[in-house]
Amino acid sequence: MHPQYFHYDRLVKSEDLNHHGTLFAGRSAEWFIEAGFIAAASALPAQNIVCLKVHGLTFTHPINAGEIACFESKIVHAGRSSLTVFVSLKLQERDEPILTGFITFVHINESGKAEPHGLKLELTSEEDLRLNKQAQALN
């Protein structure tokens, strides 16, 4: 399978803000994991995927009410039963990501036990190879 980006956009509303009037980190983490899950569920049945670990969220800029948070996610590493997804967040009016990180999901069976998924990634771009190397170092 060739990795591809999935897009997931959210409007930042007043109920998403923290006491500083910017996007609450907990809400952005929720959206971050959803964006990663969308990528994982593109390759495996959603009912057989669980989140194992968020490898970090690095913010470089605050997000204000009324801005559009544009998430991109793609599978960058496939283990025996795991998938690691890279997620980035850009604002609609900015080219540089303001949030990046990795999430590892595990493929499980009906009993909730890890089970091999049989996926193989075909990495061809320099970006895919770089992200794959970063993901391998996390696990």
- Residues 68-90: pLDDT tens digits? 999 999 999 999 999 999 999 99
- Residues 9-61: pLDDT tens digits? 999 999 999 999 999 999 999 999 999 999 999 999 999 999 999 998 888 99
Specify the pTM: 0.94
Element (H, E) at 35: helix 25-41
Q: Does domain 6-138 have CATH number 3.30.70.100?
A: no
Residue 130 CA: distances (Å) to CA of 50, 56, 103: 25, 17, 16
- Residues 54-63: pLDDT tens digits? 998 888 999 9
CB 121 within 8 A of CB 135: no
Q: What angle do CA 94, 90, 119 make, to 5 degrees?
A: 145
State the pLDDT at residue 57: 87
Closest Cα to residue 41, out of 89, 8, 90?
Answer: 8
Closest Cα to residue 80, out of 50, 56, 103, 105?
Answer: 105
State the pLDDT at residue 93: 80
Give residue for tokens 């803000």.
17
Q: At 119, which amino acid appears?
A: L
State the pLDDT at residue 92: 86
* Category of 38 on φ-ψ map: left (φ > 0), alpha (ψ -120 to 50) or beta: alpha
State the pLDDT at residue 94: 83
Burial class (CB in 10 A: 0-12, 13-18, 19+), 42: middle
